[in-house]
Each structure stands twice: as structure tokens, then as C-alpha cells.
């Protein structure tokens, strides 16, 4: 099952997509990665979805990546005696640690770490920013605020604090339980919510112990400011525009998205653009024109993947949403302007032998009659470098390791193929030629570029490139030993 596009599609599973037939239909419509949102559902429900994904993997013979998205620390107000209160602009409102039910003058905010970090002038945003306040005075157990944007505040609404770095661990106790469960389950990627600093990523990496790759969600101003350091210790990034658009002016999100996508590409690390991409398709079988343009923009920018959230998890038209993303991607990638933009934005600092080899592979493939670039890999690192180059020809990644193949399903333009263990470069070339033919990337009259490392099965040894025929009889004839 060959995708006729390079950008990958991430589909979130939920109540609308929990049975075998629906998940299989999502995969066949174009989903490459399935997201398990740990904020919703029980462990038993998530395991049932995971087991279905792995059964589909067996039934189709194609590797599929699974991304477990951890909830992260949730900051919420307490409860109100009347269930809610109406706040008018200009009035004073108090947050404190008193657990007594609130009213129109005060409410409990059961997070002393917020009060420890607040300063006069800092903003507090409630209910996704619909209610906005400015801190006038504060102490270790209270904050007196002026309401700058009024509205209805009700029980347990979320609170955002955009102007300070909170002394909060990125992983709550729930997150730690969910992380261990997800790793034991066998997920391929772990997404960390509300990352603020590189130490948050390192903590999760230590707990994961190599069982899953770590993807940092950028949704706080502090993460955007420390992005270079966070990227350096992450395996991938998600530009989570929902909370980012709450804590920052909405007009600042598009340029931030563009900058982060380019930095990820330059580093050779996959980046997902997420949140509200086709949100109207939760209720409608067709998206708005603006949503289609939003998806297209992310693809033109060179994102590795675009993501569906509630559209596929709880919407009425999950399969149609995936089909729409697939159609938009194919349309954009067939546009001559797309290739011009991608190639003009290729800004890569090449320092290693592997960097040089993958750059040479792209140059050879694009300047001669080459059908595909094939790479034999143990860890997927070299394949990520090829994807960073954004070549005009398909990328075929071969590995004997199922976990490597699954993780690479998130990489731009990569078609993953299971291969036997090889100990000679000639057999790697033969396997690459067979895979290119079997999956329709080339026929026996064409040539491919093959990249590998010698000695085999040793990490970080990418050191060889060969232009080879797809006819394996010619391979044996020219390289008989």
C-alpha cells in the first residue's frame, strides 16, 4: 500500500474510531500514525485500540506508528457555590488556596506553585483565554486580579499563565502512570504536553528508557523561547497551536509555526503541525476553504506531518477528514510552486559523512534518471537525514527492526519495508531493488540509489552509496562475490 504523497497524516482515535473496521478504513484512507490521547479514556480502552492497530499492521503487512499523547499538568480553578459566576470587566477577583466554594468575588486555585511564580502585571487566562485578568497584588497563597475581559467562569475551568515559567514538573503522577503503561504497551512515540524547558524532556527520556521516541509539544511561550535547547534533546516536535494561541496573540502563531518547522527540518527531526486543522469536519462532511488553506500552508512549509484531533476521534466524519487531508496533500505536492518553496528553504548545516552521503544521494537522484533512494538502517537516523533533504524521488527505508520501521512512519516521504538481516552490502542492494520493484517505485529497467553503512548492524556507520540496477540479475553479474 503505497502513499502517493510525502507528508504524513496523524489521526487521533477516540469514541468515533475505536472498532477494527473504522480504524482499518482510516488507515486505508491515508492515516500513517495513530494518536492515543491519554487525556481521555481508560487504559483498557487505549489497549483495545492499540491491539486493533497492531492487528491491522499484520493484516496489511505495513508498519504503523502509534503516538501516545500525555495529558501534562492541568491547572484548573475550584468550584462555585452556584456552579458559575459572572465577571464584568474592571472588577476585582481573587484566587486563593481556600477550598470554600467560590462566588463572583473569589475562587480556589489549588496550585500553590502558581502563586509562587506570579508577579504583579502577570496575566491569568481562564477557559481557553475567554476570561482574562491582570495580577495587581499577590502572595504565596493569593492573587488579587483585575478582570480585563469578562465572562462566565464556572467549575474547574482551565487556567493559563503565559507570562511566567511555572515551577511545575512536566509530568504529573497521572502522566508517569500513563507513560509506563504506554511504554509497556509498545507505543512508538511519546508526546509531552506543556513542555517549558529541556529538563522536562530529559526527565521523560529517563523514564522511557529508550522504549519510545520523545516528541515535545510546543504550546507555551516559555517553550518557544527555549526552543533550540528543547529541540536538541527531543526526537521530534509537535506545534500544538491550541494552547499556543491562547497564551500568545493569535497573530503571532503563524510566524512561530513557520520558524519552528524550519528549525526542525534543519535539525532532521520530524515536526507535526496540529490543532483545529479541519475542525468544522467534526460536524460537517466538507471543510471550510480556510481550513484547506491551513493544511496546505503546513505542507508548503515542509512539515513532516499534519494531525487530526477531534475530527477523527469524536467527529461524525472521521474517514472523510483523513481523505480530505490526503487529497489536499496530493494536490499541494503536485504543484510546481511546492517544489520551488521546499528547495528554496533547504538550509542544512552539513558536518558529518552521513550528511554528505545523503546530500549526494539527493543530487544524483534529481540530476539523473533515478527511481528512488533506498536506505538500509538500524536506527532510522540516516533516513531522517534523507527526509531532511526533501528529495523529489521516493525514499524507501529498509530495516530488520520493526520498532525502527514504526518510528520512521512519521518521517516525511519515507516508505518503510521490513527486510531480513544482512551482513554484506550486496545483499542490502538486492533487498532494496526487490522492495523498489515490489512496491511500485521502480521496474527492472530503472536504477536506484542505495545507502548503507559498513560494517552492517552497527549504529552510526553510514559510509557508502551505490547507484544500482533494479534488475538483481545485473547486481549479481556486476558484483558476484
CATH code of residue 64: 3.20.20.60
405 and 445: one domain? yes
- The sign of the dihedral angle between the CA atoms of 122, 202, 191, 50 is negative
Question: Given its phi and psi angles, is residue 335 left (phi above 0), alpha (psi -120 to 50 degrees) or beta?
Answer: beta
Residues 60 and 40 in one domain: yes
Q: Is the pLDDT of residue 476 over 90?
A: no
478 exposed, middle or buried (CB, 10 Å; 0-12, 13-18, 19+)? exposed
Q: What is the count of structural domains for the chain?
A: 3
Residues 6+ apart with CB under 8 A from 400: 418, 419, 420, 421
Confidence of residue 347 (pLDDT cuts 50, 70, 90): confident
**What's the pLDDT band for 460 if we cut at 50, 70, 90?**
low
Helix H or strand E encompassing 109: none
Summarize pLDDT for 210-244 with one digit per residue, the tens.
999 999 999 999 999 999 999 999 999 999 998 88
Considering the entire predicted model, what is its pTM? Answer: 0.92
Using CA atoms, how far apart are residues 383 and 287, in angstroms rounded to an integer? 34
Last residue of some domain: 309, 342, 375? 342
Q: Are residues 184 and 287 in the same domain?
A: yes
State whether 136 and 262 are in the same domain.
no
- Mean pLDDT of the chain, nearest integer: 94
- Answer yes or no: do 386 and 416 share one domain: yes
316 is known as an active-site residue:
no
Q: Is residue 196 domain-shared with residue 304, that is, in the same domain?
A: yes
Q: Are 267 and 321 contained in the same domain?
A: yes
Helix (H) or strand (E) holding 13: strand 8-13
- Asked if residue 324 and residue 179 are part of one domain, the reply reads yes
Catalytic residue selected from 35, 123, 197, 269: 35
- 123 annotated active-site: no
Q: What is the pLDDT of residues 238-264, one digit of tens each?
A: 999 988 888 888 999 999 999 999 999
188 and 307 inside one domain: yes
Report CA-CA distances (Å) from 57 to 33, 199, 422: 12, 35, 24
Q: Is residue 348 part of a domain?
A: no
Contact 406, 393 (CB under 8 A): no
Is position 35 annotated as part of the catalytic site?
Answer: yes
pLDDT tens digits, 61-80: 999 999 999 999 889 999 99
**Is residue 134 among the annotated active site residues?**
no
Q: Bigger pLDDT: 401 or 350?
A: 401
Task: Say if 272 falls within a structural domain.
Answer: yes
Residue (of 195, 207, 173, 166) closest to 75 by Cα position: 166
The average pLDDT across 104-117 equals 94
The answer to whether residue 1 is domain-embedded is no
pLDDT per position as a tens digit, 17-56: 999 999 999 999 999 999 999 999 999 999 999 999 999 9
Q: Residue 240 in contact with residue 217, Cβ under 8 Å?
A: yes
By residue range, what is the domain housing residue 129?
Answer: 84-160
Same domain? 183 vs 328: yes
Query: For residue 232, with 0-12 CB atoms within 10 Å meaning exposed, 13-18 middle and 19 or more buried, which class applies?
Result: exposed
Instruction: Classify residue 347: in a domain, yes or no.
Output: no
**Band of residue 480 on the pLDDT scale cut at 50, 70, 90:** very low
The CATH code of the domain that includes 410 is: 3.40.1380.20
- Count helices and strands (H / E) in the chain: 18, 21
- Residue 78 inside a domain? The answer is no
Q: Which of 107, 134, 160 is the last residue of a domain?
A: 160
- C-alpha closest to that of 132 among 197, 182, 88: 88
Which among 84, 83, 74, 79 is positioned nearest to 40, based on CA atoms?
74
Pull the grid cell for residue 340.
Answer: 520551488
Evaluate if residue 461 carries a pLDDT over 80.
no
Element (H, E) at 105: none
Q: Which of 3, 62, 106, 217 is labelled catalytic?
A: 217
Catalytic residue among 106, 197, 275, 390: 275
Task: Compute the distance between CA of residue 420 and CA of residue 105 in angstroms, rounded to an integer.
Answer: 68
Pairing status of strand 106-108 against strand 123-126: unpaired
In a domain, 198, yes or no: yes
**Catalytically annotated residue among 76, 176, 259, 434:** 76
Q: Are residues 174 and 298 in the same domain?
A: yes
Strands, sheet with 131-139, edge to edge from the N-terminal-most edge strand: 106-108, 92-96, 142-149, 131-139, 123-126, 159-160
pLDDT of 424 above 70: yes
Q: Kindly state whether residue 165 falls inside one of the protein's structural domains.
A: no
Q: What is the pLDDT of residues 258-293, one digit of tens each?
A: 999 999 999 999 999 999 999 999 999 999 999 999
The pLDDT value recorded for residue 479 is 60
Residue 478 has pLDDT above 90, yes or no: no
End-to-end Cα spacing for the chain: 34
The C-alpha cell that represents 191 in the structure block: 508526546
Given a cut of 50, whether residue 340 has pLDDT beyond it is: yes
Structural domain ending residue among the three candidates 282, 307, 342: 342
Same domain? 202 vs 318: yes
Those residues whose C-beta lies under 8 Å from the C-beta of residue 224, and which sit 6 or more positions away, are: 218, 244, 248, 256, 260
Amino acid at each position: 500500500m503505497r502513499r502517493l504523497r510525502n507528508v504524513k497524516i496523524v489521526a487521533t482515535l477516540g469514541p468515533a474510531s475505536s472498532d477494527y473496521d473504522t480504524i482499518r478504513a482510516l488507515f486505508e484512507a491515508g492515516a500513517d500514525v495513530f494518536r492515543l490521547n491519554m487525556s481521555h479514556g481508560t487504559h483498557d480502552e487505549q489497549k483495545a485500540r492499540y491491539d486493533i492497530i497492531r492487528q491491522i499492521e499484520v493484516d496489511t503487512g505495513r508498519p504503523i506508528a502509534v503516538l501516545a499523547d500525555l495529558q501534562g499538568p492541568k491547572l484548573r480553578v475550584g468550584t462555585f457555590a452556584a456552579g458559575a459566576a459572572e465577571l464584568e470587566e474592571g472588577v476585582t477577583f481573587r484566587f486563593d488556596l481556600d477550598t470554600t466554594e467560590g462566588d463572583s468575588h473569589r475562587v480556589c486555585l489549588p496550585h500553590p506553585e502558581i502563586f509562587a511564580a506570579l508577579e504583579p502585571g502577570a496575566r491569568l487566562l481562564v477557559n481557553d483565554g475567554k476570561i482574562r485578568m491582570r495580577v495587581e497584588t499577590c502572595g504565596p497563597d493569593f492573587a488579587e486580579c483585575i478582570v480585563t475581559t469578562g465572562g462566565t467562569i464556572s467549575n474547574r475551568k482551565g487556567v493559563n499563565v503565559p507570562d511566567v515559567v511555572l515551577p511545575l514538573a512536566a509530568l504529573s503522577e497521572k502522566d508517569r502512570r500513563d507513560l509506563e503503561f504506554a511504554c509497556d504497551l509498545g507505543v512508538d512515540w511519546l508526546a509531552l504536553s506543556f513542555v517549558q524547558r529541556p529538563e522536562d524532556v530529559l526527565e521523560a527520556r529517563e523514564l522511557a528508557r529508550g522504549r519510545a521516541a520523545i516528541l515535545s509539544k510546543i504550546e507555551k511561550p516559555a517553550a518557544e523561547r527555549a526552543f533550540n535547547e528543547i529541540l536538541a534533546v527531543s526526537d521530534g516536535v509537535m506545534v500544538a497551536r491550541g494552547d499556543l494561541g491562547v497564551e500568545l496573540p493569535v497573530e503571532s502563531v503563524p510566524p512561530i509555526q513557520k520558524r519552528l518547522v524550519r528549525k526542525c527540518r534543519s535539525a532532521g527531526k520530524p515536526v507535526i503541525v496540529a490543532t483545529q486543522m479541519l475542525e468544522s469536519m467534526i460536524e460537517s462532511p466538507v471543510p471550510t476553504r480556510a481550513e484547506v488553506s491551513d493544511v496546505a500552508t503546513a505542507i508548503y512549509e515542509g512539515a513532516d506531518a499534519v494531525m487530526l484531533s477531534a475530527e477523527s476521534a469524536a467527529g461524525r466524519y472521521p474517514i472523510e477528514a483523513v481523505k480530505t487531508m490526503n487529497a489536499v496533500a496530493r494536490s499541494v505536492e503536485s504543484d510546481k510552486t511546492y517544489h520551488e518553496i521546499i528547495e528554496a528553504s533547504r538550509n542544512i548545516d552539513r558536518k558529518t559523512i552521513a550528511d554528505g552521503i545523503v546530500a549526494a544521494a539527493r543530487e544524483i537522484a534529481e540530476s539523473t534518471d533515478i527511481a528512488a533512494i533506498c536506505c538500509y538502517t538500524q536506527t532510522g537516523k540516516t533516513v531522517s537525514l534523507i527526509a531532511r533533504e526533501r528529495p523529489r524521488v521516493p525514499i524507501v527505508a529498509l530495516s530488520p527492526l520493526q520498532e525502527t520501521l514504526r518510528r520512521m512512519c512519521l518521517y516525511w516521504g519515507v516508505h518503510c519495508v521490513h527486510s531480513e538481516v544482512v551482513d554484506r552490502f550486496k545483499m542490502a542492494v538486492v533487498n532494496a531493488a526487490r522492495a523498489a520493484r515490489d512496491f511500485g517505485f521502480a521496474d527492472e529497467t530503472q536504477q536506484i540509489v542505495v545507502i548503507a553503512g559498513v560494517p552492517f548492524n552497527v549504529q552510526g556507520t553510514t559510509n557508502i552509496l551505490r547507484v544500482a540496477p533494479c534488475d538483481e540479475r545485473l547486481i549479481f553479474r556486476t558484483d558476484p562475490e
